[in-house]
Amino acid sequence: MRSRGVLAGLLFAGLLACGCRTARVYLSDPTVYDRLPPDLEEPLRQARVFADAGRFQSAHDILAPLAPLAPRNLRLATFLQDVELGVLEQGGAVRGVRGDVRGAGEDRLFASYLRRAEEVPTSGGFVLAARLAPDAARALELLGRALELDRENPWAHYARAWAHAREGRFGDARKALERAFAIDPGHLPSVRLDGALLARAGDAKRAISSFESWMERSFDDPTVDPRQRATVRLDLAILLVTGGEPADALRLLDAVEPGAPERDAHVELVRAAAYQALGDPDEAQRAVRFAREASPDELFAQVDEALLAAARGDPDAEREAWKEALAIADRERARTAAGRPEPAAFRSILVQLQAMTRLARLGEPAP
């Protein structure tokens, strides 16, 4: 499924627990849906350069002629579909659909993909239509049709897992994901989702292994959007901080890649938590300052207040500041549940983790 903010909210429940089961070994056995002809590698890289620069029409001009050369390949097809969405967002036209400021272009692109899948039914065609479906129920219906055409399509099982997870049906998500792994034990999109589900279940050790495997294998893959890598890098860094490895988290966050944001409020909050865990309040405060500049907000101001109190050696003031940060974070989470976007949930949960850690060290019972 599409990766814009994918599963950001799944990562945070139960992070402090650490599973002891053996980490999965992701030995890839790619199917026709993932194998690419070697001669497509270079044009894919050029298309990625254009896409990362926001030149979606140029990327589209490269990818569109490549798609018929690997008609069943969903790595290429999903890359093309995301580029098409970029073209529409910039007011361009693809597949007879023109983008507009009201965002209706994506709905019309869904209709175009669905019409094509119904006219020429293929498993991959229904997976691509499902990626653009307006809701999980519609996506699951289309993915059922994809599996009727080919039960051995790992992308269809993976997409079912994604849709179930988005709706909070984690048991069904796990079952669908295991079917994807039964076909391709190293299916790359499934590896990332596996990490998110493991983290959500509290199995931090195996989640770290999953995310590290995904990062290593996706490094040189031109079909992977660097924004996806930035998201997984951040999720992995959170797991490392909460798992007691803040120095490793900092090294990970410092390895910024092309196309990834260098100074993002979320990144800086994780960096602040890592420095705080290492006993460096000055660097923690510096990171929070960057976070406030990136996204001025009352919550960041309260975190800054707590770090200032810690830096001047005032435990009572620090304790009260963290309590207030918890209260603000609780209110943010409530607003998020009522429809606020996922980044607000990310920020509030991270601050809650940070605040509870500091309060415990100050001898305050956990809320």
| Residue 242 lies inside a defined structural domain of this protein | no
Residues of the domain holding 80: 32-151
| Residue 115 lies inside a defined structural domain of this protein | yes
Q: Residue 250: name the closest of 260, 264, 229, 236 by CA.
A: 236
| Residue 108 lies inside a defined structural domain of this protein | yes
Residue 146 belongs to domain with CATH number: 1.25.40
Q: Spell out where the chain has E strands.
A: 93-94, 97-98
| Residue 124 lies inside a defined structural domain of this protein | yes
Q: pLDDT tens per residue, the chain (367 residues)?
A: 543 322 333 343 333 334 445 678 899 999 999 999 999 999 999 999 999 999 999 999 999 999 999 999 999 999 999 999 999 999 999 998 888 756 567 889 999 999 999 999 999 999 999 999 999 999 999 999 999 999 999 999 999 999 999 888 999 999 999 999 999 999 999 999 999 999 888 888 999 999 999 999 999 999 999 989 988 998 899 899 888 899 999 999 987 665 555 567 778 888 888 998 898 988 988 888 888 787 776 677 788 788 878 878 889 998 998 998 888 888 876 765 544 444 455 667 777 877 888 888 888 775 6
| Residue 142 lies inside a defined structural domain of this protein | yes
Q: What is the largest CA-CA distance in the chain?
A: 70
Q: What pLDDT shows up at residue 354?
A: 79
Tokens of residue 224, six digits: 């992977």
- In this predicted model, what pLDDT tens digit does every residue of 184-215 receive, in sequence order? 999 999 999 999 999 888 888 999 999 999 99
| Residue 214 lies inside a defined structural domain of this protein | no
| Residue 351 lies inside a defined structural domain of this protein | no
Three-class DSSP category at 232: helix
- The total of structural domains in the chain comes to 1
- In this predicted model, what pLDDT tens digit does every residue of 86-107 receive, in sequence order? 999 999 999 988 887 565 678 8
10 touches 232 (CB < 8 A): no
| Residue 43 lies inside a defined structural domain of this protein | yes
For residues 138 and 242, what is the distance between their CA atoms, to the nearest angstrom? 37
For residues 202 and 263, what is the distance between their CA atoms, to the nearest angstrom? 28
